A and B are shown apart, each in its own frame.
Chain A
């Protein structure tokens, strides 16, 4: 059992937990993920590591409530226990030898991009951070991102905070103002449409772009093959070959279809969970 040591509520749907998981904290690196299962009947869900503290033996996760499991997780409190928590899984982000990197975090993707930005900065790189959210309410970790980056640009889709626009708009301005030759690498993490839009844009400039994919997954150790994704001409497993991939090589259309695989079942589980008729769905 893994104890929730701390909970922060960033918005009604975005929450942070600090979990007591010394084994994971000891060896994890930026870009890796964990799989958790809340209770005996629960599903195994992957979440990217947002932060870690090796001394305290803790892992920080930030997640958005989407389906039944994330809603159930969001309802848990500090002091509660999560049944299973395994990691670190996946390959760490490769901290490339570039002078400058732009780290783009969209929505809840700000959390996983944070340790990557920090790792690049610790390696002596100039890190330009771009973070965006739909609106001010969904914005979090501006302070942490500011600390992890050399410079930080913030935007909201609706203009309710700082400026109006998508992260792609800001990224385009950065590339245009600095010159594309001075931006050798972009790391983008966020919802699939956002990562896809970033990649479409950077491809035109010829700027290498790394994305972190969050595919459907069961075991997370290469065993089930559920998380496969077409990258270039090859089928890769997100869990062991990724989660980072060259975004220009990813078959986004296929990934988007595969991600929607269990949409109807997820909806059913959610409705049952939220049903107050006493059918047991609230468990």
Chain B
């Protein structure tokens, strides 16, 4: 056996992901990455060394048995592979697309030490898409426990928590504020990175497990967490309301017409389909030259969306340098290929507008990098006298989001931190309030889909324990 392993030929590079032509895709909302073919996925899966110590698994927040599903995929047993994935991951078609794999599972891949990691996410995506196309087989559901759980928010953490609890036999109801389930997967992540049909297919699977989803239901308004437990008969509540409160720069001119929060810009486009205006009723207005403030994935999404909405120029304006961009490498690369331009070491100090209130430019200041700060990144220091005016007519602010305050504000006895995040034990999801659990961005601050899913899973485990012992 050992001899056989030693003989395994190492294939140094990942099989390339077929994508839409960069310039063509920069003008449409169709998915950028087209997905592997069956032959490619088998070839990619066969690159896996099947290491005994399974380093990739430590990088997966939802603990997918990665070597096992890749082995099955390598053998062409895709039914087996997806079954294996879904033991742990309720949203594989989503994760296969938007997980930052290079910082998680693939980062720990043995091959990555000298070569390119196995394309774990791409294999996952193929298996999930294939199953969605041919019809999903449902996992086993435990007999009803008679316990009721309310899940507040239908984003990645809520969906995962609901799925796990439903499989354990609990009666789960998800309350969603918007008119459609999916949270940030629907309003935030653009269609060209994550088709909405894929999200809805995953949501439908959840419903088949018996999960009820009540849309148009703003907890904190039509009812409170206390009322859910005291009056509506829920035995436990999971709060996964995410980071839905946009931050602004707090600079003069920020309320000018033509300044959007990334949330508004993306919600109009993704959720309300403004790119199909006037067939769809929600408009969006975009100028010729767009500046997107920030350097994360949301900023990349904003800049790429701007091009697709018809902007002639789309700029990422970021106060640090290329090396510090918090966005996934692949997203920054895709943006660049599509023609997004980057203004590094630059930050706005004022947004200028005309008599009609419209943005006419952005006064910026240049930065240089100084000593590393608490985050370990070199601190950007403004250069005195370096002010200049950037010629832009639309500004999208993508500098981050805080926790949505509606639920924290109306839930008595829920401990919050200074930023307004819910204080929850990261090992269990338990909050200061008995029976109330929380996870995802509302606890950690804005992070990734998969981390939120991990938190949903963790909470589901402890909610199950709580209900079992209750």
Q: Using a CB-CB cutoff of 8 Å, which residues 92-140 of chain A contact chain B?
A: none
Given contacts A43-B272, A228-B255, contact A84 B245 (CB under 8 A): no
B222–A230 CB distance below 8 A:
no
Q: Judge whether A42 is part of the interface by a CB distance below 8 angstroms.
A: yes
Measured CB to CB, the nearest residue on chain B to A266 is B283
- Which of B216, B245, B255 is the most central at the interface, judged by chain A CB atoms within 10 Å of its CB? B216
Interface size class of B (residues with CB under 8 A): 35 or more
Q: List residues of chain A with CB within 8 A of the CB of B245.
A: 222-223
Q: List residues of chain A with CB within 8 A of the CB of B216.
A: 84-86
A254–B278 CB distance below 8 A:
no
Q: List residues of chain A with CB within 8 A of the CB of B221.
A: 27, 87-89
Q: What per-residue 1/0 map shows which CB atoms of A69-100 lie under 8 Å from chain B?
A: 10000000000000111111100000000000
Q: Judge whether B264 is part of the interface by a CB distance below 8 angstroms.
A: yes
Q: Judge whether A55 is part of the interface by a CB distance below 8 angstroms.
A: no
Q: Judge whether A3 is part of the interface by a CB distance below 8 angstroms.
A: no
B177–A224 CB distance below 8 A:
no
Measured CB to CB, the nearest residue on chain A to B261 is A225
Q: Judge whether A258 is part of the interface by a CB distance below 8 angstroms.
A: yes
* Docked CA distance A43–B274 (Å): 9
B218–A86 CB distance below 8 A:
yes
Q: Judge whether B263 is part of the interface by a CB distance below 8 angstroms.
A: yes
A225–B263 CB distance below 8 A:
yes
Interface size class of A (residues with CB under 8 A): 35 or more
Q: Using a CB-CB cutoff of 8 Å, which residues 262-315 of chain B contact chain A?
A: 263-264, 267-268, 272-273, 276-283, 285
Q: Judge whether A141 is part of the interface by a CB distance below 8 angstroms.
A: no
Q: What per-residue 1/0 map shows which CB atoms of A198-238 lie under 8 Å from chain B?
A: 00000000000000000000110111111011100001000
Given contacts A85-B216, A218-B272, contact A258 B255 (CB under 8 A): yes
* Docked CA distance A226–B274 (Å): 15
CB distance from A267 to the nearest CB of B (A): 10
Q: What per-residue 1/0 map shows which CB atoms of A5-26 lie under 8 Å from chain B?
A: 0000000000000000001101
Q: List residues of chain B with CB within 8 A of the CB of A41.
A: 273, 276, 279-281
A219–B215 CB distance below 8 A:
no
> B177: which of A42, A219, A230, A266 is its contact (CB, 8 Å)?
A219
CB distance from A93 to the nearest CB of B (A): 15
CB distance from A264 to the nearest CB of B (A): 8
CB distance from A220 to the nearest CB of B (A): 8
Measured CB to CB, the nearest residue on chain B to A281 is B278
Q: List residues of chain B with CB within 8 A of the CB of A89.
A: 218, 221
> B281: which of A219, A229, A269 is its contact (CB, 8 Å)?
A269
Given contacts A83-B179, A272-B278, contact A262 B283 (CB under 8 A): yes
Q: How many A-B residue pairs have CB under 8 A?
A: 122
Given contacts A219-B178, A258-B357, contact A84 B246 (CB under 8 A): no
Q: List residues of chain A with CB within 8 A of the CB of B282.
A: 43-44, 218
Q: Using a CB-CB cutoff of 8 Å, which residues 401-432 of chain B contact chain A?
A: 404-406
* Docked CA distance A43–B222 (Å): 22
Q: Using a CB-CB cutoff of 8 Å, which residues 217-249 of chain B contact chain A?
A: 217-218, 221-223, 244-246, 248
> A258: which of B215, B217, B257, B406 is its contact (CB, 8 Å)?
B257
Task: Describe A's contact surface by its main secondary structure.
Answer: mixed
Q: List residues of chain A with CB within 8 A of the CB of B39.
A: none
Q: List residues of chain B with CB within 8 A of the CB of A264.
A: 285
Task: Describe B's contact surface by its main secondary structure.
Answer: loop
- Which of B218, B221, B223, B404 is the most central at the interface, judged by chain A CB atoms within 10 Å of its CB? B221
Q: Judge whether B373 is part of the interface by a CB distance below 8 angstroms.
A: no
> A69: which of B250, B260, B281 is its contact (CB, 8 Å)?
B281
A221–B218 CB distance below 8 A:
yes
Q: List residues of chain A with CB within 8 A of the CB of B250.
A: 235
CB distance from B182 to the nearest CB of A (A): 13
* Docked CA distance A224–B223 (Å): 22
CB distance from B346 to the nearest CB of A (A): 23
Measured CB to CB, the nearest residue on chain B to A258 is B257
Given contacts A218-B268, A224-B261, A224-B263, contact A84 B179 (CB under 8 A): yes
Q: Judge whether A248 is part of the interface by a CB distance below 8 angstroms.
A: no
A223–B215 CB distance below 8 A:
no
Measured CB to CB, the nearest residue on chain B to A255 is B255
Q: What per-residue 1/0 map shows which CB atoms of A239-266 lie under 8 Å from chain B?
A: 0100000000000001001101110111
Q: List residues of chain A with CB within 8 A of the CB of B278.
A: 265, 268-269, 272, 281
> A87: which of B222, B267, B279 is its contact (CB, 8 Å)?
B222
CB distance from A201 to the nearest CB of B (A): 25
Q: Judge whether A179 is part of the interface by a CB distance below 8 angstroms.
A: no
Q: Judge whether A280 is part of the interface by a CB distance below 8 angstroms.
A: yes
* Docked CA distance A212–B282 (Å): 24
B222–A44 CB distance below 8 A:
no
Q: List residues of chain A with CB within 8 A of the CB of B217.
A: 23, 86
CB distance from A202 to the nearest CB of B (A): 25
A27–B222 CB distance below 8 A:
yes
> A225: which of B215, B218, B264, B356 is its contact (CB, 8 Å)?
B264
Q: List residues of chain B with CB within 8 A of the CB of A228.
A: 248, 255
Q: List residues of chain B with CB within 8 A of the CB of A261.
A: 257, 285
> A223: which of B260, B356, B357, B404 is its contact (CB, 8 Å)?
B404
B263–A265 CB distance below 8 A:
no
Q: Judge whether B254 is part of the interface by a CB distance below 8 angstroms.
A: yes
B223–A230 CB distance below 8 A:
no
Given contacts A83-B179, A223-B404, A261-B285, contact A280 B255 (CB under 8 A): no
Measured CB to CB, the nearest residue on chain B to A42 is B281
Q: Judge whether A172 is part of the interface by a CB distance below 8 angstroms.
A: no
B406–A68 CB distance below 8 A:
no
B222–A88 CB distance below 8 A:
yes
B273–A222 CB distance below 8 A:
no
Q: Judge whether A146 is part of the interface by a CB distance below 8 angstroms.
A: no
Q: Using a CB-CB cutoff of 8 Å, which residues 384-402 of chain B contact chain A?
A: none
Which residues of B pack against A, CB within 8 Å? 177-179, 187, 215-218, 221-223, 244-246, 248, 250, 254-255, 257, 260-261, 263-264, 267-268, 272-273, 276-283, 285, 356-357, 404-406
Which residues of A pack against B, CB within 8 Å? 23-24, 26-27, 37, 41-44, 68-69, 83-89, 218-219, 221-226, 228-230, 235, 240, 254, 257-258, 260-262, 264-266, 268-269, 272, 280-281
Can you give 18 contacting A-B residue pairs, CB < 8 Å?
A41-B273, A43-B272, A43-B283, A69-B281, A84-B216, A88-B222, A219-B177, A221-B244, A221-B406, A222-B244, A223-B245, A223-B246, A224-B246, A225-B261, A229-B255, A235-B248, A240-B405, A265-B283
Nearest 8 pairs of A and B residues by beta carbon: A257-B357, A265-B283, A225-B261, A224-B264, A86-B216, A223-B244, A43-B281, A84-B179
